Amino acid sequence: MGRGIAVVTGASSGIGAATARRLVAEGYDVVAAARRADRLEQLAASIGCRTQVLDVTSPESVAALASSLDSCALLVNNAGGAFGLAPIAEASDADWQRMYDVNVLGTLRMTRALLPALVASGDGVVVTVTSTAGHGVYEGGAGYTAAKHAERAMSETLRLELCGQPVRVIEIAPGMVATEEFSLVRFGGDQARADAVYAGVPGPLVADDIADCIAFAVTRPAHVNIDLMVVKPRAQAASHKVHRVTVGDA
């Protein structure tokens, strides 16, 4: 017996694609949603999910997805991203606006649109993929940490507002995850700067590690809510404290 429809945003790559793959294996009817139709088609051919082209910054796009569903048991708010690493004194309005629109308002739009169906399912689950950046700060990261703190606050507030309703609210906060695009997007396509983020780190997390955590949390019995799961590689003690090795180190 299937577990119902699961919508995963930002599903064209990285954590989103890995989560869609894992949820299909767990028995969900997955709707993989993202902007890039070609990537979605490749994913669907690989894992047998449904797809929907989605831009979480567009209310019309979100409404179209919601209206295409006759039910929904699980929403994974994964779409997001970091843009730039400038200090506050040099911050770009456009970068901050983009981070808020994708991370914060995107999560708001999706959650608001699918909440009636999640409640109606009798055991709905809302997962928001935030970041350890939502639980701390670091130089140059004010725009992203502010956005992720806002997502964290939204998740905690939603849980209060839905108390007594048949919906679980879960936050997954990854630390350093080596995916193909996150840092590359942050640095505007500068591959060398993106590679430097993970240089020498023994065993950064990979997308499947986060997908595994999401799958565990959402498949608990209906009375069990995993409020928050913070997940970091062993090499990362904090955002600013990461163990790195050089060639020849023991």
Active site residue 144: yes
Residue 170 phi, psi (nearest 5): -125, 135
108/151 Cα distance (integer angstroms): 9
Nearest of 205, 195, 63, 86 to residue 145 by alpha carbon: 86
Place of tokens 């989605």: 54
208/14 Cα distance (integer angstroms): 9
Question: Which stretches of 85-199 are DSSP H helices?
Answer: 93-99, 106-120, 142-161, 182-186, 191-198
Q: Reduced to 3 states, what is the DSSP secondary structure of residue 174?
A: strand
DSSP 187-248: TTT-HHHHHHHHTT-SS-B-HHHHHHHHHHHHTS-TT----EEEE--TTEEETTEE----TT
Tokens of 45: 């051919």
Residue 173 phi, psi (nearest 5): -115, 95
Angle at 133 between CA 116 and CA 135, to 5 degrees: 80
Residue of 28, 100, 138, 144 with catalytic role: 144
123/171 Cα distance (integer angstroms): 17
> What's the one-letter identity of residue 232?
K
Q: Classify residue 140 by its DSSP letter.
A: T
What residues are labeled active site?
Answer: 144
